[in-house]
Amino acid sequence: MAERHWMGFDLGGTKMLAAIFDEEYRCLGRERKKTKGFQGAGAGVERVVKCIHDAIANAGSTLDQIQGIGIGCPGPVDPENGVLLQAPNLGWKNLNIAELLQKEFKKPVVVLNDVDAGVFGEYQFGAGRGARSMLGVFPGTGIGGGFVYEGQIFQGHRISCMEIGHIPTVPDGPIASAGLPGSLEAVCSRLAISSLIAQAAYRGQAPSVAEKAGTDLANIRSGTLAEALKEGEPIVVEILSRAVLQLGKTIAGFVHMLAPERIVLGGGLVEAMPEFFLKKVKEGMRQWLLPPYRDVCEVVVAKLGDDAGIQGAAAWARHKIRIKT
Amino acid sequence: MAERHWMGFDLGGTKMLAAIFDEEYRCLGRERKKTKGFQGAGAGVERVVKCIHDAIANAGSTLDQIQGIGIGCPGPVDPENGVLLQAPNLGWKNLNIAELLQKEFKKPVVVLNDVDAGVFGEYQFGAGRGARSMLGVFPGTGIGGGFVYEGQIFQGHRISCMEIGHIPTVPDGPIASAGLPGSLEAVCSRLAISSLIAQAAYRGQAPSVAEKAGTDLANIRSGTLAEALKEGEPIVVEILSRAVLQLGKTIAGFVHMLAPERIVLGGGLVEAMPEFFLKKVKEGMRQWLLPPYRDVCEVVVAKLGDDAGIQGAAAWARHKIRIKT
Of the pLDDT bands very low, low, confident and very high (cuts 50, 70, 90), residue A61 is: very high
- Residue in B closest to A284 by C-alpha: B168
Instruction: For residue B310, give its domain range.
Output: 5-114+306-324
- Percent of chain B exceeding pLDDT 90 equals 94
A162 with A133, same domain?
yes
Q: Give the single-character DSSP code of B90.
A: T
- pLDDT score of B278: 98
A66 with A190, same domain?
no
| Cβ count near A47 (within 10 Å) | 17
A81 with A62, same domain?
yes
Cβ contacts of A254 on chain B, cutoff 8 Å: 167
Of residues B127 and A324, more confidently modeled: B127
B297 with B171, same domain?
yes
Determine the distance in angstroms separating the CA of A37 from the nearest CA of chain B, rounded to an integer.
19
Residue B224 has pLDDT above 60, yes or no: yes
Rounded Cα distance, B148 and A164, in Å: 20
CB contact under 8 A, B258 and A161: yes
- Render pLDDT for A220-269 as a digit per residue (tens, 0 to 9): 999 999 999 999 999 999 999 999 999 999 999 999 999 999 999 999 99
- pLDDT score of B309: 98
- Mean pLDDT value of segment A59-81: 97
- Render pLDDT for B282-314 as a digit per residue (tens, 0 to 9): 999 999 999 999 999 999 999 999 999 999 999
- Mean pLDDT value of segment B121-139: 97
- Residue in B closest to A291 by C-alpha: B86
Cβ contacts of B186 on chain A, cutoff 8 Å: none
Residue A325 has pLDDT above 60, yes or no: no
- pLDDT score of A324: 66
- Render pLDDT for B87-96 as a digit per residue (tens, 0 to 9): 988 999 999 9
CB contact under 8 A, B133 and A157: yes
Cβ contacts of A293 on chain B, cutoff 8 Å: 76, 159, 163
- pLDDT score of B176: 82
- Render pLDDT for B92-112 as a digit per residue (tens, 0 to 9): 999 999 999 999 999 999 999
A178 with A278, same domain?
yes
Of the pLDDT bands very low, low, confident and very high (cuts 50, 70, 90), residue B177 is: confident
CB contact under 8 A, A156 and B166: no
B257 with B244, same domain?
yes
Residue B1 has pLDDT above 80, yes or no: no
- CATH of residue B26's domain is 3.30.420.40
- Render pLDDT for A102-134 as a digit per residue (tens, 0 to 9): 999 999 999 999 999 999 999 999 999 999 999
- Percent of chain A exceeding pLDDT 70 equals 99
| B5-11 vs B15-21, strand pairing mode | antiparallel
Rounded Cα distance, B41 and B31, in Å: 20
A139 with A115, same domain?
no
Which of helix, strand or coil describes residue A52? helix
Rounded Cα distance, A49 and A46, in Å: 5
- pLDDT score of B302: 98
CB contact under 8 A, A166 and B253: yes
Is A322 exposed, middle or buried (CB count within 10 Å of its CB: 0-12, 13-18, 19+)?
A: exposed
A105 with A254, same domain?
no
Tally the domains of chain B.
2
Rounded Cα distance, A264 and A301, in Å: 5
Of the pLDDT bands very low, low, confident and very high (cuts 50, 70, 90), residue B325 is: low
- Render pLDDT for A173-229 as a digit per residue (tens, 0 to 9): 998 878 899 999 999 999 999 999 999 999 999 999 999 999 999 999 999 999 999
- Mean pLDDT value of segment A149-162: 97
Residue A294 has pLDDT above 90, yes or no: yes
Core vs surface per residue B39-54: b (16+ CB within 10 A) or e: eebeebbebbeebbeb
A276 with A143, same domain?
yes
Of B118, B244, B251, B255, nearest to B190 (Cα)? Answer: B244
- Mean pLDDT value of segment B14-43: 96
B315 with B288, same domain?
no
- Which residue in A152, A290, A294 has the most chain B C-beta atoms within 10 A of its own C-beta, making it the best mutation to test that interface? A290
Is B173 exposed, middle or buried (CB count within 10 Å of its CB: 0-12, 13-18, 19+)?
A: middle
- Render pLDDT for B53-79 as a digit per residue (tens, 0 to 9): 999 999 999 999 999 999 999 999 999
Minimum-distance CB partner of B157 among A75, A161, A259: A259
Cβ contacts of B290 on chain A, cutoff 8 Å: 76, 86, 163, 166, 178, 180
Handedness of CA A266, A269, A274, A279 (dihedral sign): negative
B15 with B89, same domain?
yes
Calculate the average pLDDT of chain B.
Answer: 96
CB contact under 8 A, B256 and A158: no
A33 with A83, same domain?
yes
Residue B2 has pLDDT above 90, yes or no: no
- Mean pLDDT value of segment B256-276: 97
φ, ψ for residue A220, nearest 5 deg: -90, 80
